[in-house]
Amino acid sequence: MADVKRARSGAEIHLETKIGSGTLYPLLARLEQAGWLVSEWETIDPSAEGRPRRRYYSITGEGQRAAREALEPLQWGGAPAWQV
């Protein structure tokens, strides 16, 4: 995920992470309850669009800080340890 500030639908997150929906949506709900994500429904007319509305998720500042802290031990010399 290149642009972390861009809101993504659950389907986009699924395609990028390959996490199954039975795991992904409960995870997104927990991250939102923790204040790490916010979500909102898109404002479309489903019958005009011919598809259901999508829910878009965005990371919060708190979520960004928590992610950095969680990933910090995996950094080595400024690069992720798996790329060294």
Structure confidence at residue 74 (pLDDT): 78
Instruction: Quick: pLDDT tens for 29-52.
Output: 999 999 999 999 999 999 999 999
Mean residue pLDDT across the chain: 90
Q: Where are the alpha helices (DSSP H) in the chain?
A: 10-17, 21-33, 46-49, 61-71
User: Do residues 16 and 31 lie in contact, with contact meaning Cβ atoms separated by under 8 Å?
Assistant: no
Domains of the chain with CATH codes: 8-83 (1.10.10.10)
* Owner of token pair 């010399």: 77
* Residues paired with 9 in a beta bridge: 56
Q: What's the predicted TM-score (pTM) here?
A: 0.79
Enter the tokens of residue 35. Answer: 């204040």
